Amino acid sequence: MSEVFQLSGILKIVFPVERGNIEDFNAYEKLLHTVIYSNLKIDPSDYGLLLIVDPIVPIKMYYKLFELCFEIFNFPRVIILNSFHILQLYLGKKMTGIYGNIGDRISYFQAYSEGTPQSNLISDHFGLSDVINYFKRLLRKNGKGEQSRFLKLPFFESIAKNHLFCSLNPKELLENMTRELFLTKSVKTPDGDNLLLQEELYLAPELLFDFKHMAIDEDDHFNSLQSMIAKILEDLDDKSVYLDNIVIFGGGASIKNFPYRLEIELDRILPDYTLHQINIRIPPRPVNYIHKIICTQFNELFNSDIIKNRLITKKLYSDGATQSDAFLSNIKINY
């Protein structure tokens, strides 16, 4: 990926998937073609395909995916899972709690009871890329814009993963900063220069808990991650059951101290619940453990209900079963 960004001034870079949706199916088809024929070097008619999509993907997208898989690449069978299904495979059980994802450009949450949705999925066009962009703005504001001007996205993603952190008491930390008790970190850039990072390290992640620094229309957006979770809880009866098991994926959730800070913010806006009743878990990235599950528990995986209920054969597709919204809704949502 870093090699691609180094050629960004020469090559036209296309992102087929934007905010969890496939926006450019022609580019997506070319991507699959490269993976199947150039990288894997296989005949797809001899293999099944497991696709993992975001829960926010609309049903109409499934029609196009099946068309692509069965008509263009001639796969005999296809399984489409979303990241919540993967989580339940990882846990080995049907989940009760709140499931969320803070992706690159979109975040979403939904409540489940024994694997069945108990709330509408709510989402907002906000993610780790917004934190990174805010981090860049802070660098420019603090006179480091020229030094960081030509740095590429992989460098900033590495900063977010390894150096950014959520302050548990940002006001106190800011007071310390003004007294010149600076928390300073020197990071070497790909060019060999040293980039001195100070308050940017903890101010950038503040965006997760207060979207006011984003140029958005507040009428159409939430104002924080905690407000999204609070919205989910509004219509749930036993809120403590769901607060006791909040599981969040995504790059934004991997920032240091994130779960502890989110617990504090939730406790502030949900005064009827004490802090010890809020339990937030950040599991490994789905791609890491789905690979492990497939490699070590192949038979158990493909004999599980979650897989068998989502196995679509080319015959089912040819018979028109996948043209039913009701059929696809069952595939998309139910455990």
Residue partners of 332: CB distance under 8 A and separation at least 6: 55, 57, 59, 62, 80, 82
**Segment 185-204, tens digit of pLDDT:** 888 888 888 888 888 888 89
CATH of domain 95-127+214-281: 3.30.420.40
One-character DSSP codes across 114-142:
TTEE-S--EEES--HHHHHHHHHHHHHHT
Q: What is the mean pLDDT of residues 6-34?
A: 80
CATH of domain 2-88+286-333: 3.30.420.40
Q: Identical fold at 2-88+286-333 and 95-127+214-281?
A: yes
Indicate the SS3 state at residue 270.
coil
Q: Which residue has the higher pLDDT, 48 or 183?
A: 48
Average pLDDT, the chain: 80
Six-digit token string for 270: 């949900």
- Under the banding of pLDDT at 50, 70 and 90, the label for residue 157 is confident
Is the confidence at residue 297, as pLDDT, over 90? Answer: no
Is the confidence at residue 89, as pLDDT, over 80? Answer: no
Domain boundaries, the chain: 2-88+286-333, 95-127+214-281, 129-206
Which CATH fold would you assign to the domain 129-206? Actin; Chain A, domain 4 (3.90.640)
